[in-house]
């Protein structure tokens, strides 16, 4: 086991294998003050679940974060911070409920289910374009573009704008996910905020005049029924849907593919069944999901796992650790695509449970089914597995694959 006191979640070993790192904490110091992270690391399932349900742990991140910025950074990021204030994910009640209500009304499971055939067609087109004469990057060729195309279409972004759209999301990720290896983090985030605000403001004005069958038009229509969002909050809602729908799903597709290629018995099960069952997607989320940590801030004095937490303290609810807790899961290090029940916390819990979960599940199911259906001999190419140095997410920069004989080094 690692020595938890000497490492943080951005330590290279913890990035490569957070599960071994968290296991040491979970066993010896389950609510651990991490000096490198300046946060409490909560690693046991029961404590993480309790944290999600405790109103004394606040989701408010924008206001407190502003205090750590210099005046120049604060001025430069003012537009970006205003957008993030419109993200329900960063708000407590009652603002969270107010911001979530119109999105919940318009972004429904029924709407997602109706998209199955269309998503399937996009996946097949992307796979058709993959050049298998040499190793190809699953991130670049399928996992990154698919959710961007889907969420852009849902919002009503014209096809000719989508490439720019995807890179704006990447820029914003440097601030939201805590990407600490970029010296230009604030500059990129500022640019993304300015670009998103200008673009979505114009798009909202367009659909106010000419409504269409998309989420922006539905949010505009919801205003007439009492679900009132300001223009700034509308821009925030659009960027949240884009960012959340893109980043989470892309990472889930990549991590799920890697899980299957490293567990050929489970891949054989999918091939035998002829589909990716519902339980498989849940196991992908539990075993190596796209989210590693969800951040909270202590709003009032509280006790958690025998520790006294003070107002203002940062708390990292380590959902990837909770999902590997042997007190909750039988054989947590074993991949079992038929595991049921599977009470994982991959999409959070409670009021902040991910609104886009049905869409992420559907896109992943279709992408995995079509990928292995098309490439029966898919395998890992020789490579180093380079995980982005981010606090919250579990994100491979690339995943190189070949449609040929398996390489034992993979």
The structural domains of the chain, with segments of one domain joined by +, span 4-403
- Please give the class, per CATH, of domain 4-403: mainly alpha
- Position 53 scores a pLDDT of 94
- Position 226 scores a pLDDT of 81
Residue 278 CA neighbour count, 13 Å, CB half: 5
Q: Report in angstroms the alpha-carbon separations of 271 from 55, 72, 78, 145.
A: 44, 56, 51, 25
Q: Report in angstroms the alpha-carbon separations of 19 from 25, 188, 323, 369.
A: 10, 31, 9, 27
Alpha-carbon distance 173 to 168, whole Å? 9
Cα 193–Cα 196–Cα 202 angle in degrees, nearest 5: 140
With CA atoms as reference, report the closest residue to 86 among 241, 207, 287.
241
Cα 103–Cα 139–Cα 107 angle in degrees, nearest 5: 10
Alpha carbon 297 to chain centroid distance?
A: 19
DSSP-derived secondary structure letter, 406: P
Cα 261–Cα 247–Cα 140 angle in degrees, nearest 5: 55
Give me the helix-helix angle, 231-262 and 185-209, nearest 10°.
120
E strand or H helix at 141: none
pTM for the predicted model, two decimal places: 0.90
Residue 313 CA neighbour count, 13 Å, CB half: 25
Q: Is the distance from CB of 282 to CB of 255 less than 8 angstroms?
A: no
Report residue 297 as tokens.
């801030």
- Position 273 scores a pLDDT of 95
Alpha-carbon distance 58 to 112, whole Å? 30
- Position 66 scores a pLDDT of 53
- Position 262 scores a pLDDT of 97
Mean pLDDT by groups of 10 residues along the chain of 410 residues: 65 95 95 95 97 94 59 61 75 87 83 92 96 95 92 87 67 53 57 77 94 91 83 84 84 98 97 96 98 95 96 96 98 98 95 89 97 94 94 94 60
Alpha-carbon distance 184 to 277, whole Å? 42
Q: Is the distance from CB of 197 to CB of 237 less than 8 angstroms?
A: no
Residue environment code for 8-33, b if the CB has 16+ CB neighbours within 10 A, otherwise e:
bbbbeebbeebbebbbbbbeebbbbe
- Position 249 scores a pLDDT of 95
How many residues can be counted in the chain?
410
Q: Report in angstroms the alpha-carbon separations of 344 from 17, 31, 62, 353.
A: 19, 19, 28, 12
């Amino acid at each position: 086991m690692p020595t938890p006191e000497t490492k943080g979640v951005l330590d290279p070993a913890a990035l490569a294998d957070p599960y071994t790192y968290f296991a040491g904490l979970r066993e010896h110091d389950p609510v651990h003050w991490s000096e490198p992270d300046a946060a409490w690391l909560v690693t046991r399932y029961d404590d993480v679940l309790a944290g999600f349900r405790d109103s004394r742990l606040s989701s408010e991140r924008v206001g407190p974060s502003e205090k750590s910025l210099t005046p120049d950074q604060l001025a430069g990021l003012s537009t970006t911070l205003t957008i993030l204030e419109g993200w329900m994910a960063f708000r407590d009640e009652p603002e969270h409920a107010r911001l979530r209500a119109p999105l919940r009304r318009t972004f429904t499971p029924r709407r997602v289910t109706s998209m199955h055939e269309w998503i399937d067609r996009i996946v097949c087109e992307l796979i058709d374009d993959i050049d298998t004469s040499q190793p190809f990057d699953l991130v670049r060729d399928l996992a990154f573009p698919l959710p961007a195309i889907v969420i852009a279409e849902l919002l009503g972004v014209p096809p000719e704008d989508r490439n720019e759209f995807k890179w704006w999301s990447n820029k914003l990720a440097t601030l939201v996910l805590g990407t600490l290896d970029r010296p230009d983090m604030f500059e990129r985030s500022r640019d993304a905020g300015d670009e998103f605000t200008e673009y979505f403001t114009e798009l909202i004005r367009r659909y106010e005049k000419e409504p269409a069958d998309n989420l922006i038009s539905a949010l505009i229509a919801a205003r007439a029924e009492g679900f009132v969002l300001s223009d700034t909050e509308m821009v925030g809602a659009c960027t949240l849907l884009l960012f959340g729908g893109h980043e989470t799903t892309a990472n889930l597709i990549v991590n799920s593919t890697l899980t299957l290629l490293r567990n050929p018995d489970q891949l054989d099960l999918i091939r035998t069944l002829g589909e990716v069952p519902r339980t498989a997607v849940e196991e992908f989320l539990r075993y190596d999901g796209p989210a590693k940590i969800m951040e909270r801030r202590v709003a009032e004095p509280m006790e958690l796992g025998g520790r006294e937490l003070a107002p203002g303290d940062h708390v990292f609810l380590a959902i990837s650790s909770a999902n590997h807790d042997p007190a909750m899961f039988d054989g947590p290090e074993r991949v079992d695509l038929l595991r049921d029940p599977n009470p994982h916390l991959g999409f959070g819990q409670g009021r902040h449970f991910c609104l886009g979960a049905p869409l992420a599940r559907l896109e992943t199911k279709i992408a995995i089914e079509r990928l292995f259906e098309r490439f029966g001999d898919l395998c890992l190419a020789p490579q180093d597995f380079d995980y982005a140095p981010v606090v919250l997410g579990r994100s491979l920069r690339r995943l190189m694959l070949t449609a040929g004989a398996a390489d034992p080094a993979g």
